[in-house]
Amino acid sequence: MDSESGSADARTGSGAASAAGTGAGAGADAGTEAEAPGLRASLEAILLVADEPVPTVVLAQVLERPSSEVAAELAGMAAGYAAEGRGFDLREVAGGWRFYTREDCAPVVERFVTDGQEVRLTQAALETLAVVAYRQPVSRARVSAVRGVNCDGVLRTLVLRGLVADAGTDAETGAILYRTTSYFLERLGLPSLDDLPDLAPFLPADIEDIADENARP
Amino acid sequence: MDSESGSADARTGSGAASAAGTGAGAGADAGTEAEAPGLRASLEAILLVADEPVPTVVLAQVLERPSSEVAAELAGMAAGYAAEGRGFDLREVAGGWRFYTREDCAPVVERFVTDGQEVRLTQAALETLAVVAYRQPVSRARVSAVRGVNCDGVLRTLVLRGLVADAGTDAETGAILYRTTSYFLERLGLPSLDDLPDLAPFLPADIEDIADENARP
Amino acid sequence: MIASTDASQGADKTAGCAGFQVHLDVFEGPFDLLLALISKHKLDITEVALSQVTDEFIGYISERADGWDLDQVSYFLVVAATLLDLKAARLLPSGEVEDEEDLALLEARDLLFARLLQYRAYKEVAAIFAARMAAAARRFPRRVPLEPCFAQLLPEVLLGLGPAEFARLAALTLMPKAPPKVSTEHIHTPAISVSEQARKLVGMLRECGRASFRQLTADAAGSYEIVASFLALLDLYADDAVSFDQVTALGELYVTWTGQTGNVERPTESDD
């Protein structure tokens, strides 16, 4: 496996070589400073949770490093993953970087995706879906405002799953609006939107707010 | 870098060897080698697309490998990522494996992520959750008796928030019973209910069943 | 312990849950309050200075009774009544425990302490939960929409909720987040003050000497007034103005006037 250190990125190679011992050490400059993760680790962490390609400049901003340094590191990481034969792949697509599954792993991933039974929605997705269902047509910003957290990623998932769809743009603001689909009704077992139960009886009387008001944003 | 996977997979090595030049996508076309990716790469690819913890058995099924082999590989991968100081981390949570960002990358990730942050729970919600977690399946009346205060509203909200679920009814009393969910385990970062901290050290012997005898109807 | 390392890392975020705080407003239930009173006096839970804790407990109830919901108040009453019994038992000359009533009191004490110990245990693990959740929240799971080429292969979505539950969730999600709490609910509940109730009871008891609780509250306008009456009686009892007897558990409770015949002022009460 040492063979890959002959590749484009010396840093990845040396990181790999030193990996056995230390733990946090392998990143770009982690050596002496104990606490902060290195550039590579930081990029890996961010890209792991990024649900769209992230432009190099955005990464550079978040990490407060020069774009050129970040760009070089990203290229090095991509080469490193390829060299190590990882199942994931870092690609620059549509002006940004994102983790993808490696192409030759596609058959395995397909088997996994189709293998599962029904997929359960996450709690965040259900709540977002509920807001769209009862407030449609509704903009992203509005949904996020209601839930108190940014819902862009969740909305994208709901669109991808066919539960929510584009409903044109707001005449005033130009914001994209969302609505629920007939597939949503089908999954909920309702003939039409008119059959969504009224909210009034469910407005919390005996429900307690279990969220801490002092919670972090 | 091979060290962590125990070199179980020779193919990974050869993929690496051929990767030197190109960067992205280099693994895909590694001319001479056989098509199928190795176990580690396959697991990495699958876990990259999973949006909830994936049980070892499911992975073993999809990959048609023995569970024990898959489990060993996963543990090796997790150790490897830690040793290499990756920004991501493979964790066993709520009965399955899932990619997480590494804890010491939290400040960086928080700067980047604006959605999906979970709300912090109130003291009342936490206590109710604790009683349900340790006494499940458990009726409302018992939870209320243990806490010395009516918990109906809190319980209902915990159910709606996906932390607690209905667990059928008590054969004798017909009371609805409650249990914790896998989302609860995810929120706590625990592999399973068996990993809950032991209650015994907090509790003098022979105290345990007080509330049962005295639960009000 | 499992959370030891995580706990320290999450400590800043969970400080509010970790220890008892003697801001009286934070108590949610009677066990909560009792534990806090006990820990405030740095007493071993098994050797509580009962009279002191009882007094403070009752004092706290009478201050706040009008601000709670009925459920909470009833629970408080159960604990208060138990505490009062215990306090009474403590005043008995020691060594005289042949009496069945004394034994019952001892049992009640053990039971109350057992429940308190149990509650304390859950409170402690709840703090561990909070720390673990705070630590887990620092690790972000990968939760990214599938690459489009795989998304179309996905099986059906499972909502896992029926229309009614879905509506309930929507109501909860859409509910405006509560503004930082200044609860004004109690302002709109019928204003029944404990002291007012006490004056009324004193009048009735002076007249008839002895009456059942049922009789005393026969004309109560609602359960709130009954609760207030009971609280008033506890106060009167604390001031040696009345005595209670109850032949069987949960049986009729009789109240006997033992106070002076003069005008009784309830100095501790404020009308609220």
Quick count: other Cβ atoms within 10 Å of Cβ B204? Answer: 14
- What pLDDT score does A164 carry? 94
Q: Which residues touch B133 (CB under 8 Å, ≥6 apart)?
A: B180, B184, B193, B196, C125, C129
Q: How far is CA A135 from CA A165, A179, C174, in A?
A: 14, 8, 9
Q: Name which of A176-185, B20-29, B37-46, C229-238 the model is least confident about.
A: B20-29
**pLDDT above 50 for C265:** no
- By C-alpha distance, which of B127, B100, B94 is closest to B113? B100
Nearest to B203 among C75, C121, C132 (CB): C121
Does C131 have pLDDT greater than 50? yes
A144 to chain B nearest CA, in Å? Answer: 9
Q: For A92-149, what is each residue's pLDDT tens digit?
A: 987 899 999 999 999 999 888 887 656 778 888 899 999 999 999 999 888 888 887 7
Task: Quote the minimal CA–CA distance from B182 to chain A in Å.
Answer: 11
Q: Which residue of B has its CA nearest to A22?
A: B83
Contact C29 B147 (CB under 8 A): yes
CB-based contact B115 A78, cutoff 8 Å? no
CA–CA separation, C233 and B207 (whole Å): 33
Site of tokens 């625990």: B190
| Residue C38, both tokens | 């006990």
**What is the rounded distance in angstroms from the CA atom of residue A199 to the CA atom of residue A136?**
14
Query: Does C67 score more than 80 pLDDT?
Result: no
pLDDT band for position B206 (cuts 50, 70, 90): low
Joined tokens for residue A167: 């409903």
For residue C184, is pLDDT > 60?
A: no
CB contact under 8 A, C145 and A51: yes
pLDDT reported for residue B77 = 97
Strand pairing report for C242-246 and C210-212: unpaired
d(CA B104, CA B83): 14
Out of B54, B109, B122, name the one closest to residue A45 (CB): B109
- Is the pLDDT at C271 greater than 60? The verdict is no
C-beta atoms of C125 and B124 within 8 A = no
Residues of chain C positioned with their CB less than 8 A from the CB of A126: 159-161, 166, 169
B137, B168 Cβ separation under 8 angstroms: yes
pLDDT digits (tens, 9 = 90+) for C77-120: 888 888 887 777 766 655 555 667 777 777 777 788 888 888 98
Give the model's confidence band at A178: pLDDT under 50 very low, under 70 low, under 90 confident, else very high: very high
What per-residue confidence (pLDDT) applies to B28? 39
ipTM associated with this complex: 0.68
Size of interface A-C (CB pairs under 8 A): 132
Helices (H) and strands (E) in chain A, counts: 10, 6
For residue A36, the model assigns a pLDDT of: 77
Chains that touch A (3 or more CB pairs under 8 A): B, C
Q: Do A3 and B16 touch (CB under 8 A)?
A: yes
Closest CB to A160: pick one of C146, C156, C160.
Answer: C146
In this predicted structure, the answer to whether residue C69 has a pLDDT above a threshold of 80 is: no
Retrieve residue C248's tokens.
């069987």
Residues A25-57: pLDDT tens digits? 334 444 444 467 899 999 999 999 888 889 999
Q: If phi over 0 gives left and psi between -120 and 50 gives alpha, with beta otherwise, what is residue C139?
A: beta
Q: Which residue has the higher pLDDT, A209 or A196?
A: A196
Other CB atoms closer than 10 Å to residue B3's CB: what's the count? Answer: 15
Of residues A43, A82, A92, nearest to B19 (C-beta): A82
List, in order, residues 6 or more apart from A143 with CB less than 8 Å away. A128, A131, A132, A135, A151, A155, A178
More confident residue, B67 or C250: B67
Amino acid letter for position B164: V
pLDDT for the residue B205: 58
Going by C-alpha positions, the residue among C3, C2, C6, C1 that lies closest to residue C135 is C6
C20-59 confidence digits (pLDDT tens): 333 344 567 788 888 888 877 777 766 667 777 788 888 8
Query: Do the Cβ atoms of A153 and B45 come within 8 Å?
Result: no
A160/C147 CB distance under 8 A: no
Stretch B181-208: mean pLDDT:
84
pLDDT at B25: 38
Least Cα distance to B12 among B37, B49, B44 occurs for B37
Give C9's pLDDT tier (boundaries 50, 70, 90). very low
Q: Which of A43, A70, A104 to mutate to test the interface with B (most CBs of B within 10 A)?
A: A104
**Alpha-carbon dihedral sign for residues A4, A6, A11, A15:** positive
Report which listed range, A66-75, B192-201, C1-10, C179-188, is most confident.
A66-75
Question: What pLDDT is attached to residue A21?
Answer: 36
What is the nearest CA distance from B104 to chain A, expressed in angstroms? 7
pLDDT at C10 over 60: no
**Mean pLDDT of all residues belonging to chain B:** 80
Quick check: C177 and A148 CB within 8 A?
yes
Does the pLDDT of residue B89 top 90, yes or no?
A: yes
Determine which of A153-157, B204-208, C114-118, C159-163 has the lowest per-residue pLDDT on average: B204-208
What b/e sequence results for C127-141 when a residue is b if at least 16 CB atoms lie within 10 Å of its CB, and e otherwise? Answer: bbbbbbbbbbbbbbb
Q: Per the CB < 8 Å rule, is B102 touching C32?
A: no
Answer with the residue of higher pLDDT: A81 or C86.
Answer: A81
Say what the pLDDT of residue C46 is.
64
Q: Which residue has the higher pLDDT, C259 or B29?
A: C259
Kindly tell me if the per-residue pLDDT of A196 is higher than 70. yes
What percent of chain C has pLDDT above 90?
A: 3
Chain C residue at shortest CA distance from A149: C173
| Count of other CB atoms within 10 angstroms of residue C213 | 18
Contact B62 A111 (CB under 8 A): yes
Contact B155, B140 (CB under 8 A): yes
Q: What would the two tokens of residue A66 be?
A: 């020069």
Judging by DSSP bridges, how do beta strands C157-158 and A119-120 pair with one another? Answer: parallel
Higher-scoring residue by pLDDT: C127, A27: C127
Q: pLDDT above 70 covers what percent of chain B? A: 75
Residue A137, preceding bond cis, omega within 30 degrees?
A: yes
Q: Which residues of C touch A94 (CB under 8 A)?
A: none
